[in-house]
């Protein structure tokens, strides 16, 4: 039973119906700086799905905070109507809603009309990630910010929100003031802890003065920034205790990491190789001394894990943000005991934070409706049920089968091999990627729920379709590893990355990986082989390894490979090999790069579409939809989305 998870929590006069919170996270769904239909539909779906509390993503309260991304702005009253509509939509379903206020300080970066905006921070200390050199804030600006912060909170109150959270986490402005490494001020806002806290304390006081006594006021803070020169746990606890003693806070929302630097950024949205609920012990330490309710987040992806955190007394609310990006109805299903129906987040970070960093609206690789709620309605039932055969049981085929069945078609999913999952089965074998297999487990569950008939070891041909009497076929036949034309002699030992993963082939001696995709496979193979004792060189067909991965993940993985001694050769493409040498070309200068002492060349060059079925069906009378790798090389996200669209078209 989940008795702790589904017990209410009182904060001031606000009763939150359960302990599940969607923490503030950037969505790229804001429209002209305010909540519009997209953001409202997104949060309403989570409120309808049973969340207790929605904390809306951070909004900037002053013009000196900015970024290149679509973000909320609460600098004047024009933001109130959008927030009001959002609050009403969330309240309609019994959830509560807080607004978040932040200022980026030295990590503010925006280029407008060819000119970089001026970043302001406590002191002129450069930032390592955004490469900014901020100006130290003049005292008058600081005082203006305190007033602006209070007024912005007042707008939340006018819009009918239930609370306000200041973002003191992740190396943003409030944290920059707290941290002696970024705050060198000699006025009353720098020096002693009391002085470094003053900006935050005065902002909190301004917030309270503007929102009255009823609204909840809290703070998000990184209990540890996990960063060279970052805030450390002991210091953060003292700050929280002092603010609690002063009565400035109703709760503390604990997280870790910092987006200002490089080492701590991986904790901003921890990926699948981090243990579930790994921040909870630190939240528990804080909770034991602070005397306030404590929220915690960080890979709490299942209700049972949240229940453990709560019942162990480590926190009072659990941030389950990605759990609800992946399945908006997670809370409702958990309360009903439908645990197998929950589409658990696998911590891949590809479509949520990954999209955000690429500059478009967040979604989920498993749940393409996420972030598209205002555009994609519910699945409609078909008036003309058909017999649909899906050829290929990878993510694209599985999702197409599920969706077609949801529409009321009779669906048979045929997979040529003995297992569903396609290339996701291989991806889960890469180091630190085991949880990727959750994508398959979740899709298998959906197939069961929709009563899709699955036939394994069943290749599909035109004759098979005629025999079955199929009306429509979804071809999701996948692809095979691509082997580029190389100048090689017979002595060269060349193997495919996928064959190493499945154990069909083995690397020997010193290895060069030819990575043409700059994604998981090259970096994953490098880590696997170096850990197995090989000397590894990773030759990437681009400026850096993992170019196509989410930024925080790419950086931390590159750092790990560096520590393990993998030599990365950027902008290099293989063109030839013999028994001991790989011949590469620098893709920009065309200069040759000769790598000697190479005994195995591992190809991670992507794949080519498998089109046999498609060609065979050129004159077939039925409907044919082609999805996934057999149409074009696909990420798992693209495959699932394409499968969903195919199922809806049928």
Is residue 322 within the footprint of ligand SF4 (CB under 6 A)? Answer: yes
The three-point CA angle 540-421-614 to 5° equals 85
| Identity of the residue, 182 or 363, whose beta carbon is nearer to ligand SF4 in the bound complex | 363
Nearest to 216 by CA among 9, 520, 39, 522: 9
Residue pair 149/174 in contact (Cβ under 8 Å)? The answer is: no
Rg, C-alpha atoms of the chain: 26
Report in angstroms how near the CB of residue 521 gets to ligand SF4 at its nearest: 18
Q: What backbone phi and psi angles, to 5 degrees, belong to 159? A: -80, -5
Report in angstroms how near the CB of residue 365 gets to ligand SF4 at its nearest: 4
Is residue 325 within the footprint of ligand SF4 (CB under 6 A)? Answer: yes
Is residue 102 within the footprint of ligand SF4 (CB under 6 A)? Answer: no
Is residue 351 within the footprint of ligand SF4 (CB under 6 A)? Answer: yes
Is residue 405 within the footprint of ligand SF4 (CB under 6 A)? Answer: no
Report in angstroms how near the CB of residue 23 gets to ligand SF4 at its nearest: 13
Report in angstroms how near the CB of residue 334 gets to ligand SF4 at its nearest: 16
Buried b (16+ CB within 10 A) or exposed e, 349-377: bbbbbbbbbeeebbbbbbbbbbbbbbeee
Instruction: Report CA-CA distances (Å) from 614 to 410, 606, 618, 627.
Output: 22, 21, 7, 11
Is residue 302 within the footprint of ligand SF4 (CB under 6 A)? Answer: no
Strand residue runs (E) in 397-508: 410-414, 453-455, 472-475, 479-481, 487-488, 494-496
Report in angstroms how near the CB of residue 251 gets to ligand SF4 at its nearest: 25
Is residue 477 within the footprint of ligand SF4 (CB under 6 A)? Answer: no
Among 87, 89, 236, 364, binds ligand SF4 (CB under 6 A): 364
Is residue 432 within the footprint of ligand SF4 (CB under 6 A)? Answer: no
| Identity of the residue, 348 or 460, whose beta carbon is nearer to ligand SF4 in the bound complex | 348
Is residue 350 within the footprint of ligand SF4 (CB under 6 A)? Answer: yes
Distance CA 142, CA 547 (A): 39
Q: Which two tokens stand for residue 249?
A: 């806070």
Strands 536-540, 567-569: parallel, antiparallel or unpaired by DSSP?
parallel
Report in angstroms how near the CB of residue 343 gets to ligand SF4 at its nearest: 8
Distance, first Cα to last Cα, the chain: 40
Piece in contact with ligand SF4 (CB under 6 A), picked from 79-87, 311-319, 346-354, 581-589:
346-354
Among 326, 361, 403, 493, binds ligand SF4 (CB under 6 A): 326
Report in angstroms how near the CB of residue 308 gets to ligand SF4 at its nearest: 20
Torsion, Cα of 57, 63, 65, 70 (10° steps):
50
Q: List beta partners, residue 11.
A: 14
Q: Which two tokens stand for residue 310?
A: 């709560």
Is residue 524 within the footprint of ligand SF4 (CB under 6 A)? Answer: no
| Identity of the residue, 251 or 356, whose beta carbon is nearer to ligand SF4 in the bound complex | 356
Piece in contact with ligand SF4 (CB under 6 A), picked from 111-119, 278-286, 343-351, 529-537:
343-351
| Identity of the residue, 259 or 617, whose beta carbon is nearer to ligand SF4 in the bound complex | 259
Is residue 347 within the footprint of ligand SF4 (CB under 6 A)? Answer: yes
Is residue 433 within the footprint of ligand SF4 (CB under 6 A)? Answer: no
Report in angstroms how near the CB of residue 180 gets to ligand SF4 at its nearest: 34
Buried b (16+ CB within 10 A) or exposed e, 48-61: bbbbbbbbbbbbbb
Q: What backbone phi and psi angles, to 5 degrees, belong to 170? A: 55, 30
Distance CA 254, CA 374 (A): 31
**Residue ranges in contact with ligand SF4 by CB under 6 A:** 322, 325-326, 345-352, 364-366
């Amino acid at each position: 039973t989940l008795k702790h998870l589904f017990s209410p929590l009182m904060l001031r006069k606000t009763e939150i119906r359960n302990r599940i919170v969607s923490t503030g996270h950037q969505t790229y769904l804001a429209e002209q700086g305010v909540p519009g239909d997209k953001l409202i539909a997104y949060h309403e779906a989570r409120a309808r799905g049973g969340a207790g509390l929605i904390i809306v993503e951070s909004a900037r309260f002053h013009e000196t905070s900015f970024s290149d991304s679509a973000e909320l702005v609460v600098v004047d009253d024009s933001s109130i109507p959008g927030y009001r509509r959002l609050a009403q939509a969330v309240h309609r379903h019994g959830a509560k809603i807080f607004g978040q206020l932040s200022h980026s300080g030295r990590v503010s970066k925006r280029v407008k009309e060819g000119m970089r905006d001026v970043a302001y921070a406590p002191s002129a200390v450069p930032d390592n990630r955004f490469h900014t050199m901020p100006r130290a804030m003049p005292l008058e600006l600081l005082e203006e910010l305190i007033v602006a912060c209070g007024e912005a909170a007042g707008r939340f109150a006018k819009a009918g929100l239930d609370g306000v959270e200041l973002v003191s986490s992740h190396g943003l402005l409030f944290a920059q003031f707290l941290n002696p490494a970024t705050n060198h001020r000699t006025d009353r806002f720098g020096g002693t802890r009391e002085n470094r806290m003053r900006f935050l304390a005065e902002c909190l006081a301004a917030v309270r003065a503007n929102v009255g006594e009823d609204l909840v006021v809290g703070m998000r803070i990184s209990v540890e920034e996990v960063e060279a020169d970052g805030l450390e746990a002991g210091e953060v606890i003292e700050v929280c205790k002092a603010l609690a003693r002063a009565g400035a806070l109703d709760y503390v929302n604990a997280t870790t990491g910092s987006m200002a630097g490089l080492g701590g950024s991986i904790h901003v949205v921890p990926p699948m190789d981090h243990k579930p609920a790994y921040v909870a012990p630190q939240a528990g330490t804080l909770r034991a001394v602070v005397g306030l309710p404590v929220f915690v987040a960080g890979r709490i992806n299942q209700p049972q894990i949240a229940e453990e955190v709560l019942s162990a007394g480590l926190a009072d609310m659990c941030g389950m943000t990605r759990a609800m990006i992946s399945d908006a109805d997670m809370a409702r299903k958990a309360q009903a005991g439908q645990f197998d129906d929950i589409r658990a987040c696998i911590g891949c970070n590809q479509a949520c934070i990954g999209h955000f960093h690429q500059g478009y609206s967040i979604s989920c690789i498993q749940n393409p409706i996420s972030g598209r709620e205002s555009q994609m309605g519910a699945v409609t039932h078909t008036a003309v049920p058909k017999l649909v055969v899906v050829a290929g049981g990878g993510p694209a085929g599985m999702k197409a089968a599920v969706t077609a069945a949801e529409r009321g078609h009779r669906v048979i999913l045929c997979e040529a091999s003995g297992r569903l999952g396609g290339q996701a089965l291989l991806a889960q074998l890469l180091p630190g990627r085991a949880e990727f297999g959750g994508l398959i487990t979740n899709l298998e569950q959906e197939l069961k729920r929709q009563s899709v008939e699955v036939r394994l070891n069943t290749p599909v041909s035109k004759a098979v379709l005629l025999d079955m009497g199929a009306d429509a076929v979804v071809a999701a036949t996948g692809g095979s590893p691509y082997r580029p034309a190389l100048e090689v002699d017979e002595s060269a030992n060349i193997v495919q990355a996928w064959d190493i993963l499945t154990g069909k082939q083995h690397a020997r001696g010193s290895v060069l990986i030819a990575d043409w995709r700059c994604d998981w496979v090259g970096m994953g193979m490098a880590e696997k082989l170096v850990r197995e004792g090989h000397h590894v060189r990773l030759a990437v067909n681009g400026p850096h390894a993992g170019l196509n991965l989410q930024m925080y993940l790419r950086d931390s993985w590159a750092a790990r490979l560096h520590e393990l001694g993998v030599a990365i050769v950027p902008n290099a493409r293989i063109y030839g090999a013999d028994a001991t040498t790989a011949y590469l070309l620098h893709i920009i200068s065309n200069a040759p790069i000769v790598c000697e002492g190479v005994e195995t060349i591992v190809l991670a060059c992507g794949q080519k579409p498998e089109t046999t079925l498609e060609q065979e069906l050129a004159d077939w009378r039925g409907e044919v939809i082609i999805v996934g790798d057999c149409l074009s090389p696909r990420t798992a996200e693209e495959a699932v989305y394409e499968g969903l669209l195919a199922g809806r078209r049928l």
